Protein backbone atom coordinates (compact mmCIF):
# COMPACT_ATOMS: atom_id res chain seq x y z
CA UNK A 1 0.00 0.00 0.00
CA UNK A 2 1.36 3.45 -0.93
CA UNK A 3 1.91 6.20 1.62
CA UNK A 4 -1.05 8.20 0.29
CA UNK A 5 -3.35 5.18 0.54
CA UNK A 6 -2.30 4.57 4.14
CA UNK A 7 -3.06 8.17 5.05
CA UNK A 8 -6.45 8.11 3.31
CA UNK A 9 -7.33 4.85 5.05
CA UNK A 10 -6.34 6.33 8.40
CA UNK A 11 -8.40 9.49 7.90
CA UNK A 12 -11.43 7.51 6.75
CA UNK A 13 -11.35 4.73 9.33
CA UNK A 14 -9.40 5.94 12.34
CA UNK A 15 -9.87 9.71 12.72
CA UNK A 16 -13.07 10.23 14.72
CA UNK A 17 -15.33 12.86 13.21
CA UNK A 18 -13.17 13.44 10.16
CA UNK A 19 -15.42 14.53 7.25
CA UNK A 20 -13.88 12.10 4.78
CA UNK A 21 -14.60 12.83 1.13
CA UNK A 22 -12.56 10.70 -1.30
CA UNK A 23 -12.42 13.41 -3.97
CA UNK A 24 -11.37 16.23 -1.67
CA UNK A 25 -9.08 14.13 0.48
CA UNK A 26 -7.18 12.61 -2.42
CA UNK A 27 -6.26 16.12 -3.57
CA UNK A 28 -5.60 17.21 0.03
CA UNK A 29 -3.17 14.35 0.68
CA UNK A 30 -1.45 14.77 -2.70
CA UNK A 31 -0.86 18.43 -1.87
CA UNK A 32 0.50 17.59 1.60
CA UNK A 33 2.87 15.01 0.09
CA UNK A 34 4.10 17.59 -2.43
CA UNK A 35 4.44 20.41 0.10
CA UNK A 36 6.06 18.36 2.90
CA UNK A 37 8.17 15.68 1.17
CA UNK A 38 10.46 15.06 4.16
CA UNK A 39 7.71 14.78 6.77
CA UNK A 40 6.19 11.54 7.97
CA UNK A 41 2.62 12.66 7.38
CA UNK A 42 0.96 9.63 8.92
CA UNK A 43 2.92 10.09 12.15
CA UNK A 44 1.96 13.76 12.26
CA UNK A 45 -1.72 12.97 11.65
CA UNK A 46 -1.63 10.42 14.47
CA UNK A 47 0.05 12.95 16.77
CA UNK A 48 -2.67 15.49 15.89
CA UNK A 49 -5.40 12.96 16.66
CA UNK A 50 -3.98 12.02 20.04
CA UNK A 51 -3.04 15.58 20.98
CA UNK A 52 -6.79 16.16 20.99
CA UNK A 53 -7.42 12.98 23.02
CA UNK A 54 -8.90 11.10 20.08
CA UNK A 55 -11.59 13.78 19.63
CA UNK A 56 -10.18 16.45 17.29
CA UNK A 57 -13.56 17.18 15.68
CA UNK A 58 -14.87 18.32 19.07
CA UNK A 59 -12.15 20.97 19.37
CA UNK A 60 -11.37 21.99 15.77
CA UNK A 61 -13.95 23.27 13.31
CA UNK A 62 -11.97 22.68 10.09
CA UNK A 63 -9.96 19.48 10.42
CA UNK A 64 -8.19 19.73 7.07
CA UNK A 65 -6.95 23.24 7.75
CA UNK A 66 -5.96 22.32 11.32
CA UNK A 67 -4.04 19.27 10.06
CA UNK A 68 -2.23 21.33 7.44
CA UNK A 69 -1.23 23.93 10.02
CA UNK A 70 -0.11 21.19 12.45
CA UNK A 71 2.07 19.59 9.77
CA UNK A 72 3.47 22.96 8.63
CA UNK A 73 4.47 23.84 12.21
CA UNK A 74 6.04 20.44 12.81
CA UNK A 75 7.95 20.68 9.52
CA UNK A 76 9.36 24.16 10.02
CA UNK A 77 12.93 24.41 11.30
CA UNK A 78 13.29 24.76 15.04
CA UNK A 79 15.05 27.84 16.37
Short-list 58, 3, 79, 56, CA closest to 70 = 56
Q: What is the reported pTM?
A: 0.92
**Model confidence at 70: pLDDT above 80:** yes
The domain tally of the chain equals 1
In the prediction, which pLDDT does 63 show? 97
How far apart are alpha carbons 14 and 74 in whole angstroms? Answer: 21
Residues in contact with 14: Cβ distance below 8 Å, sequence separation at least 6, in sequence order: 49
Structural domain range at position 25: 3-75
Amino acid sequence: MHREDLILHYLRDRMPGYPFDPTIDLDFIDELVDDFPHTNLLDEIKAFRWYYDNRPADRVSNLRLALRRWIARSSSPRR
